[in-house]
Amino acid sequence: MALPLTSETKLLADERVVDACIADMRIADVRIADEHLHQVLLGNEFLVFDGAMGTEMQKRGLALPGVVPDLLNITDPRAITEIHAAYVAAGAEVITTNTFGANSLKLEGRASVDEVYAAAVRCAKDAKARYVAGDIGPSGALLEPMGTLSFEDAYELFAEQVRAADKAGCDLILIETLADLREAKAALLAAQENTDLPIFVTMTFGEDGRTFLGTPPEVAAEVLSSLGAHAVGINCSLGPDELLPLAQSMAHRARCPLMVQPNAGMPRMENDQTLYDVTPEQFALSMEAMIALGASIVGSCCGSSPDFTRALRAVVDAAKSPKPRDFKPALVLASAQQALIMPTESSHIAVIGERINPTGKPRLQAALRSGNFDYLVGEAVAQVEAGADVLDVNVGLPELDEAATLTQAVDKLAATITAPLVFDSSDPDALVAAVRSYGGKPLINSVNAKRESLEAVLPLVKRYGCAVLGLTLDEDGIPPTAEGRLRAAERIVDAAERMGIAREDIVIDCLVMAAATNQDEAREILRAVTLVKEHLGVRTALGVSNISFGLPQRSLMNATFLAAAFGAGLDLPILNPLSARYRDVVAAYKVLCGQDVGSLAYIDAYATAPDPYAQKPTDQKDTQTSQVQVAQKATAFELPFPLTLALEDVSDEVTSMTYQILSGQKGSMAASTEVLLESKDALDVVNGIFIPALDEAGRRFDTGEFFLPQLMASAEAVKVGFDVVRERMASTSDVSMPSSQHTIAVATVKGDIHDIGKNIAKMLLENYGYNVVDLGRDVAPEDVVAAVQDQKITLVGLSALMTTTVKAMEQTVKLLHEKVPATRVIVSGAVLTPDYASKIGADYYAKDAAETARIAEQFFAS
Amino acid sequence: MAQLVRPEALTLDRQEALGYVGYSGQVMSEDLLQRFEQLASACETTLEPVGVWDVFARAESETCAQSSGFDKQARSADQAQSYPGVQLVDGPWLAGADIANHLTGAKEVVLMACTLGAKSEHELRKYMALGSVDGVLYGACASALVESLANAVETSVVDFAAARGLRTNFRYSPGYGDMPLAVQPQFLRALNATTRIGLNVTPDNFLLPTKSVTAVIGLFDADAPVPGARTQCSVCQLRHHCELRKKGTFCHGFAANK
C-alpha cells in the first residue's frame, strides 16, 4: 500500500502550528489578569519583576535578630510597602509578596498563613503594583529520603500557601529558590490543584551548575515545563554572568517562557554587611545577554536594589520584544539528577533495561511480596553497569496493591540510582500514584490505539508531563502488516497531540511477534519501524527478545534481530542488558550510527577482548577452580562447634559450609545449601550449621577476633543459605522454622535519622531467621505502639544515636510499657550505657547488633 | 573571596577506612578484602570532592553573637567568662572554652568546609540497599575519603599560611569538645558554602551531604606558641567510656592520631 509522503517543509510547518496550539493549551483555563500578562505567558512580551527584599530590609534596619521577616507585613506594613513602592517606581511590573517563609512549618503558629498572605498582598497593592506575585519559598525541611518530610506533607504545606495567596488577591504564584526538584514538583502540583492563577517556578543552583541536591538546569526546565508551569527558570544562585550558561541550558529545554532573577554577583561580608560585587550597570549589561538567549521574564535577587530594576527596565524597553528561545526538540527522560536527551534530529540510540519485571522471575516476585525493595536496587545497578540508559519498572503481581508497590519501588530506585525510569503498568491509578511524587520525567509504558486505553492513559501523561510509549495495537488486535501498525501509531499520535502532548514525547513500539509462529511478520515489524519514523517523526521502541520465542539459541536470534531493527530505525530497544550478545550489537551499532564518536568506546571495550568464536567457553572451569581453592583453604579449617548427630555423615560439607560462612563468602552458599538439602532436613541444616556458625561469628566479634564487616559478611552468607531453605519450605510447606514464628520490631526513635545501627541489627536478626518488622527512622512513640499492638509483637528494639533523642527513646519505652505491658524493649545506641538504659526504663541494653541477637535468642527461648 | 579547592585523584587511606568499622588487625578473607578494595576505588573514582576556605579576623572585643545572623551584642566581662568563645569579624561566634583555647594567640582564623557532594548521598543509599556489608564498608570509605579531602583543604591553608610566614594548628571541628553544632548554619553562611560547594545543614545542624567536614584552623605568627597538639581523643566528651579506645582502636582511624 502506497502512502502519501509528507514533505519536510510541511512537517515543519505542522510542528509550528502544533507548538502554538500546545502553548495555547498551556494557558487555557488560566485566570490571567490582563492582555499584557496573557502575551507574557505566550512568550510574546517581557515582564519585569522586582528585586531583593532581604537586602532592602537590612538597609532599613528591619532585619534584626529574631525578627521573622514575613511577620513584618503585619507588624510594620508601612516599611514593607515602602520597599515595594521603590521597586514599582523603578519600573517593576510585578511585586513579589514578602512571604518567602510563610508556611505553617516556619511560622510555628506566630501567625496564620492566611493572615500573613493577606497582609503581604495588602502591602504590595498599597505600593500600586501592577501585578502581585504570591511568593512561595522552600518548605524549610528536607524531603525524604534525605530528610523526613514526606512528599504529601510538603504538598499540603504548599497548598495552604497557594490557597492563601489566591484568596488574598494575587495575580500569579511564584515558587522560587527551590533546590530540590521533588519539592518544586510538590509545590507546582499544589499550586495547579489549588488555584487557576499563572504559576512560575524558579530554582537555585550552585557554582557547579547544579542544585545542592544534584539537579542540573536542563532537567529542572524539562520536568517543570512538561508538568505545565507557565514559566520556569533560575533565581538567586550566582551573579548574572555565572548564570548565563545555566540559563542557556534551560532555554534549550523550557517549553514555556524563561524566567531569570540573578543575584547581584557573589556575596562577601564586610563590616558585618553582606556586599555584592556587581553594579546596576554591569547587571544590566549581563542581562542583555540573558535576554538575547531568550529570557523574557526578568528581575533580580539577593544584593540588588531598585537601581538594578531601573537599569533592567531600560534594557527591556530597549529590547522591545523577547527573543525566541533556542528550544531543541528532543525526547527527554529524566530522573531528578540525570537526563537522557535524544534530540529529534539525531540518530542516537538508548537501551531500556527490562529486568525489573516479575514475569517468570520467582525471586523478584518473592522480593516484591515481602516488600524487599533492596532487591530491585540490585537488579537496577546491575543493568546500569551493563549499559542500560533507562530502566523499565514493572511490579505488577495479581495479589499486590500495584499503586502502593509501584510508588515504593520508584521511591526506592530514585533514592539509590540516577538513571531515568520507565513506569510499566496497565493500571492508570498505579501510574498516577507513582508519577506524582517522582522527581523526574518518566516514560509511561504504555498506551495503545484502543479508544479505552487512549482515554485512560493519555490524560495522565499530559497532566504529569510524562513521555509515553504507544503500542501499535487496536480493537482488532495487532495489525499483521507494517501499514496496519503505522495506522495504529497514527491514531495514538493524533490522540496524544489533540491532548496537548508534544510529538517528541511519544515513542512507538511496533510490537515484536515470535519468528517461530509469525515468520512473515518479522520483516513487517522492521518495515513498520521505518514507516513510523518516516511518517510520524517519533522515536521507536521494540521489546526485542519476543522475536526468538520457541527457537533455539535465543540470544543469537535476538542479537541478529536487534541489528536489523537498528538498521530499520529502532531508537530504544527494550532488552536484558546483562546479555553480552545484546551489548556487543549495541556497542557496534553505536559506531555505525555515529554515536560513539571516533569509535573510542568500541575500541576501548573490544581492542583486547577475545573473540567469542575463537575459544571454548571457560565458565565451567572457573567455577571448579574456585571451589578447589575454597576446599584447599577449608582443609586447614577446623569446625569450631560440635557436629550434630543428624549431620555426622556429611562432616566435610558441614565444615566447608561453616568455612564459607565464617570467611563471609556468600557466592557458593546457595549451591552448597541446595546440595545439603537433598539429603538433609532443613531444620538440621539451620540448627546444625547456620545458627552455630552465626553464634561463632558473634563470639569472634565479641572477642575482637572479627570486626564488624566480618560479622556482617558471615550473616550475609547465612542469609543466602536461609533464602534457599525458605524457598524449599515454601514449596513443601510441611514444616516452618521455629525462629520465623518470632517477630521483632525495630525502630530508630523520633527525631533521629541515624539508622545504621538499627539496620545492622535488623540484618543480623533476619539472618537468625526472625521475622523483623522495620518501622524505619524518626518513628513517633505512638507509631511504635500502634505497630506492636497491631501485629502482637512481644519484643521491640529501639535505637538512638544522639544524646538529644534519648529523650524520645525514654518516651517510647514508657508508652510501650504503659500500653502493651507484656512487650519487652531492647535499647541500643552510641551514647547509651547499661545504667542509662535502665534509668530510662528499658528491659534490655544491647551494646551492639550481636548482643541484640543474643538477647532475642534468650528472650524467645524462655 | 573564599578559596575553592578541588583536589584531583584524591585517594583514601584504607587503614583509616577499616578503622572506622572497628578493624584492629583481624585476619580478613580474600573475598572480603577484595570487596573492600572495589568499594574503596568506586568511592575514589565516582565522587566529586570539593572544599572551600577563607580567612577571618578576630573581633577586637569579645562579643557574643545572637543565634541568627552575625549581629553582635556586646557582653559584660562576667558574661565573657561564663560564655567563652571567639568572635570572628564577618563570621560566626565560635562558642566554647575548647575552641577559645584552641585559638589562643591565633592572629587570624581560617574556616574551612568540604564535602563529597550530592552524589555521595545517592551512592551511600545505593550500597546500603545492595547489602549491609557493602553499605557499611562504602560508608567507611567515604568517611576516609572526606578525611583525605579535609587534609587536602588543610594543606592548601597551610601553604597559604607558610607563604605569609604563618603557622597553623590542627583543624578543629564543630562538635569537638564543647563547641556546639549549632554554629553550622552561620559557619556555612560565612563561606557561602551552599552556593559554592553544595553543602547544607539540616534543622538539627547536621551537615548534608553527610560526608562533609567543617573545621576551624588558627593562624599563628612564626614565633608565637601554638596551642593544642593534635589529639582528637583529648577533646572528645565520650573518651571516658569509649568502647573503641578500650579496644585500642579509634573512631578517627586505625592506630593513627591517638
Give how many domains chain B has, as a whole number: 1
Partner-chain contact B136 A760, CB within 8 Å: yes
- Whether residue B255 lies inside any domain: the answer is no
What CA–CA distance (Å, rounded) separates A513 from A519?
A: 8
Rounded CA gap, B158 and B164, in Å?
A: 10
Residue range(s) defining the domain that contains residue A826: 741-861
Q: Indicate whether A200 and A317 sit together in one domain.
A: yes
By Cβ distance, the residue of B28, B32, B129 closest to A374 is B129
User: Is B90 part of any domain?
Assistant: yes
Same structural domain for residues A78 and A188?
yes
Please give the helix or strand (H or E) that residue A493 lies within, else none. Answer: helix A482-498
Interface of A with B in 840-859 (CB under 8 A): 847
- pLDDT at residue B158 tops 90: yes
Cβ neighbors of B241 (< 8 A, separation 6 or more) are A833
Question: Based on the domain organization, do A665 and A782 belong to the same domain?
Answer: no
Residues A478 and A504 in one domain: yes
User: At A756, which CATH number?
Assistant: 3.40.50.280
Q: Which of A732, A759, A791 is the last residue of a domain?
A: A732
CB atoms within 10 A of CB A852: 29
Count A/B contacts: CB-CB distance under 8 Å.
Answer: 152
Measured between CA atoms, how close is A221 to chain B, in angstroms?
20
A572 within 8 A of A540, measured Cβ to Cβ: yes
The pLDDT assigned to B77 comes to 46
Can you give the pLDDT at residue A494? 97
CB contact under 8 A, B69 and A63: yes
Q: Could you give the CA distance from residue A423 to residue A446 in angstroms, rounded to a whole number?
A: 8
Q: Looking at this predicted complex, what is its ipTM? A: 0.85
Q: Is residue A9 part of a domain?
A: no
Same domain for A321 and A443? no
The DSSP bridge pattern shows strands A743-748 and B85-87 to be unpaired
**Cell 505542522 -> residue:** A14
Nearest Cα residue in chain A from B193: A206
Q: Rounded to a whole number, what is the largest CA-CA distance in chain A?
A: 95
Contact residues, chain A, for B199 at CB < 8 Å? 212
Q: Using CA atoms, how far apart are residues A76 and A70, in angstroms rounded to an integer?
A: 10
Residues belonging to chain B: 258
The domain that holds A678 is classified in CATH as: 1.10.1240.10
- Please report whether residue B136 resides in a domain: yes
How close B222 gets to chain A, by Cα (Å)?
A: 28
pLDDT band for position B121 (cuts 50, 70, 90): very high
Q: Are A511 and A585 in the same domain?
A: yes
3-class DSSP assignment, residue B32:
helix
Looking at the complex, report in whole angstroms how far the Cα of residue B129 sits from the nearest Cα belonging to chain A.
5
Predicted local distance difference test score (pLDDT) of residue A385:
93
3-state secondary structure at position A59: helix
Maximum Cα–Cα distance across chain B = 63
Out of A708, A732, A756, a domain closes at A732
Q: Are residues A668 and A759 in the same domain?
A: no
Contact assessment for residue A488 and residue A448, using Cβ atoms and an 8 Å cutoff: yes
* Residue A635 confidence (pLDDT): 59
Please provide the DSSP assignment of A258-285 as one string.
EEEEE-SS-EEEETTEEEES--HHHHHH
Task: Tell me the sheet residues that pair with A232.
Answer: A201, A258
Which residue has 569579624 as its cell numbers?
A: B89
Helices (H), A142-257: 151-167, 181-192, 217-226, 240-253
CATH of the domain at A237: 3.20.20.330
Q: Is residue A237 part of a domain?
A: yes
The CA distance from A729 to A732, in Å, is 5
CA-closest candidate to residue A696, choices A720, A727, A718, A667 = A718
DSSP state letter for A746: E
Domain boundary among A671, A698, A732: A732
Distance from CA of B68 to the nearest CA of A (A): 6
Per the CB < 8 A criterion, the answer to whether A784 and A812 are in contact is yes
Return all residues near A849 (Cβ < 8 A) that are at least 6 apart: A711, A757, A760, A761, A763, A764, A828
A494 Cβ neighbours under 8 A, 6+ residues apart: none
Contacts of A147 in chain B (CB under 8 A): 202
Q: Give domain status of residue B1, yes or no.
A: no
**Shared domain check, A506 and A470:** yes
CATH number of the domain at A496, please: 3.20.20.20
Alpha carbon of B190: minimum distance to chain A alpha carbons (Å): 7
Is A11 among the domain residues?
no
Kind of pairing, strands A743-748 and A572-575?
A: unpaired
Predicted confidence (pLDDT) per residue in B170-206, tens digit:
899 998 888 999 999 999 999 999 989 999 998 888 8
Interface contact flag, A65 B69, Cβ < 8 Å: yes
Helix (H, G, I), strand (E, B) or coil at A192: helix
φ, ψ dihedrals at A774, nearest 5°: -90, 110
Whichever domain contains B87, its CATH number is 3.40.109.40
Q: Which domain holds residue B33?
A: 15-247
- Residue B244 has a pLDDT of 65
CB count in 10 Å sphere of residue A8: 9
Task: Say if the Cβ atoms of B203 and A760 lie within 8 Å.
Answer: no
pLDDT tens-digit series, residues A364-375: 998 999 888 999
Peptide bond into B209 cis (omega under 30): yes
> What pLDDT is attached to residue A221?
98
The one-character DSSP state at A690 is I
Contact A744, A765 (CB under 8 A): yes
Cα gap A348→A590, rounded to integer Å? 8
Nearest by CB to A663, which of B29, B68, B70? B29
Residues A726 and A641 in one domain: yes
For the cut 60, the answer to whether the pLDDT of residue B67 exceeds it is no
* Residues of chain A positioned with their CB less than 8 A from the CB of B251: none
Chain B touched by A712 (CB under 8 Å):
yes
Name the pLDDT band for B62 (thresholds 50, 70, 90): low
Q: Which pLDDT score, from 0 to 100, does residue A3 have?
A: 46
pLDDT above 70: percentage of residues in chain B: 80
pLDDT of B99 > 80? The answer is yes
The answer to whether position A305 is within a domain reads yes
Q: How many CB atoms lie within 10 A of CB B157?
A: 24
Q: Does A381 touch chain B (CB under 8 A)?
A: yes
Residues A721 and A762 in one domain: no
Query: Total domain count for chain A?
Result: 4
A612 within some domain: no
pLDDT confidence tier of residue B255, bands split at 50, 70 and 90:
very low
A338 exposed, middle or buried (CB, 10 Å; 0-12, 13-18, 19+)?
middle
CA A657 to chain centre: 40
Q: Which residues of A touch B29 (CB under 8 A)?
A: 663-665, 710, 713
A691 in the same domain as A819: no
Give Cα separations from A471 to A333, A364, A541 (angstroms): 18, 26, 9
Whether a cis peptide bond, with omega within 30° of 0, leads into B29 is no
Do residues A30 and A230 touch, judged by C-beta distance below 8 A? yes
Are A669 and A725 part of one and the same domain? yes
Question: Which residue in A242, A225, A175 sits closest to A43, CA to CA?
Answer: A225
In this prediction, the residues of chain A whose per-residue pLDDT falls under 50 are 1-13, 617, 619-632
CB contact under 8 A, B1 and A266: yes
Q: If you average pLDDT over every residue of chain B, what do you get? A: 84
Whether A242 maps to a domain, the answer reads: yes
What does the block give as the cell for A697? 561469628
Task: Give a yes or no: residue A192 inside a domain.
Answer: yes
User: Does a structural domain hold residue A852?
Assistant: yes
**Residue contact B190–A707, C-beta within 8 A:** no
Alpha-carbon gap, residue A182 to A144, rounded angstroms: 10
Residue A358's pLDDT is 95
